[in-house]
Amino acid sequence: MKEKITSVEDLPGVGPKIAEKLMEAGYTDLMVIATASPAELAAVAEIGEGVAAKIISAAREALDMGFETGLAVLEKRKSVNKLTTSSKELDALLHGGLETQSITECYGAYGSGKTQLAHQLAVNVQLPKEKGGLNGNALFIDTENTFRPERIEQMANALGLDPKKTLENVFVGRAYNSDHQILLVEKAKDIIKEYKIKLIIIDSLTSHFRAEYVGRGALASRQQKLNQHLHTMQKIADTYNCVVYITNQVMAKPDVIFGDPTEAVGGHVLHHAATFRIYLRKGKGDKRIARLVDSPHLPDGEAVFRITPEGIRD
Ligand code: GTP
Ligand code: MG
């Protein structure tokens, strides 16, 4: 009888040397290997793609992947948790908050509140479950240098949390260009487990891509890179039961006369990758209006919230 495979070292084709390389690169459990691509695994373990493909399929077999029954899918949905936004209206629009195992995209114009919501979520994720948190920590990938620790302190104080401790549980990575941003997300696997990360923020997902891939000729490669990047995030969200929150600025298209003059950067790639898309726009004063756009199982609708000194509120 074949011995049961329970860890990465047990996989056929994985010797001590390969195992060590996989561990170092964060491929520490069967699920991470099973959901990797041959090219990716070949690169990290310095092996041929053929060997990598065999290792991946062994991991999948060991995990009994492939078709799932509807019941198994339902079981998995049961482990989905919700993260509060601190606005009852916005939470209601999202049927309880942002979901783990999903990517939530927030898009809107300058000053619409995307970054403010990111800060609020980084605080809220640390709350216990009965208060709408996930009892975990946040990873904040900052591409525009708009992370403000002082704002985290204000929001933490307003919720009765220790501001210093709250800041200690937000891990900030400043991404200097799109390749660096991609690398930070790939490296995130290492710290997610160690530091109990339950929320990954990328604010903003698209700014570097937009600046670096200019012109029609660059569009296809930009979309391809973004697609792969989002795929990595979805995998992380699934594997570690995390919330992924990404922001995206809307770009005015002055040449469009008819139809919607604004369109999220990234276009159709994001359209398919993000499970929830929230469109934010400014209202009067501190009011903001959120609209849920094409969500698979929630009705489209709108919610109004405010950006107050204490943070996001109704
Ligand atoms: P871009 O990143 O430029 O696309 O905008 P954004 O959507 O990220 O906007 P952001 O979340 O930065 O929202 C900016 C707005 O939030 C400001 O116009 C202020 O109204 C409000 N805001 C920002 N910081 C504070 C603060 O410390 N206190 C309060 N009360 N409001 C703030
Ligand atoms: Mg912002």
How many independent structural domains does the chain possess? 2
Q: Whose CA is nearest to atom 9 of ligand 1?
A: 111
- For the record, the structure tokens of 208 come out as 């570097």
84 shares a domain with 55: no
Specify whether the CB–CB gap between 90 and 312 falls below 8 A. yes
Q: What is the pLDDT of residues 99-148, one digit of tens each?
A: 999 999 999 999 999 999 999 999 999 999 999 999 999 999 999 999 99
- 68 within a domain of the structure (yes/no): no
CATH number of 59's domain: 1.10.150.20
81 shares a domain with 24: no
Domain housing 35: 8-63
pLDDT of residue 273: 60
Q: 30 alpha carbon to ligand 2 midpoint, in Å?
A: 37
What residues flank ligand 1, with Cβ below 6 Å?
108, 110-116, 151, 249, 307-309
Q: Counting ligands in written order, which one lies closest to the CA of residue 106?
A: 1
Asked if pLDDT for residue 194 goes beyond 50, the answer is: yes
DSSP 130: G
How far apart are alpha carbons 237 and 139 in whole angstroms? 13
The predicted model scores a pTM of 0.79
How far apart are alpha carbons 105 and 251 in whole angstroms? 15
**191: closest CA among 165, 175, 169?**
169
Q: φ and ψ at 168, to 5 degrees?
A: -65, -20
State which residues have CB under 5 angstroms from ligand 2, the bound ion: 114-115, 146
| Length reported for the chain | 314
99 shares a domain with 34: no
274 shares a domain with 226: yes
- What is the overall mean pLDDT for the chain? 88
- 55 within a domain of the structure (yes/no): yes
Q: Counting ligands in written order, which one lies closest to the CA of residue 203?
A: 2
Burial environment of residue 10 by CB neighbours within 10 A (0 to 12, 13 to 18, 19 or more): middle
305 shares a domain with 181: yes
Q: Which atom of ligand 1 is nearest to the CA of 204?
A: 2
Bridge partners, 311 (sequence order): 308
83 shares a domain with 15: no
Q: 154 alpha carbon to ligand 1 midpoint, in Å?
A: 14
Q: 44 alpha carbon to ligand 2 midpoint, in Å?
A: 34
pLDDT of residue 258: 43
138 shares a domain with 33: no
Q: φ and ψ at 277, to 5 degrees?
A: -125, 125
Q: What is the pLDDT of residues 278-289, one digit of tens each?
A: 999 999 999 999
Q: What is the average pLDDT across 86-104?
A: 95
Q: 114 alpha carbon to ligand 1 midpoint, in Å?
A: 8
DSSP 225: H
Q: Which atom of ligand 1 is nearest to the CA of 119?
A: 11
4-13, 54-63, 81-90, 297-306, range with greatest mean pLDDT: 81-90
Bridge partners, 122 (sequence order): none
How far apart are alpha carbons 281 and 115 in whole angstroms? 13
- 69 within a domain of the structure (yes/no): no
Q: Counting ligands in written order, which one lies closest to the CA of residue 152?
A: 1
How far apart are alpha carbons 240 and 28 in whole angstroms? 13
Q: 118 alpha carbon to ligand 1 midpoint, in Å?
A: 10
182 shares a domain with 217: yes
Q: Counting ligands in written order, which one lies closest to the CA of residue 307?
A: 1
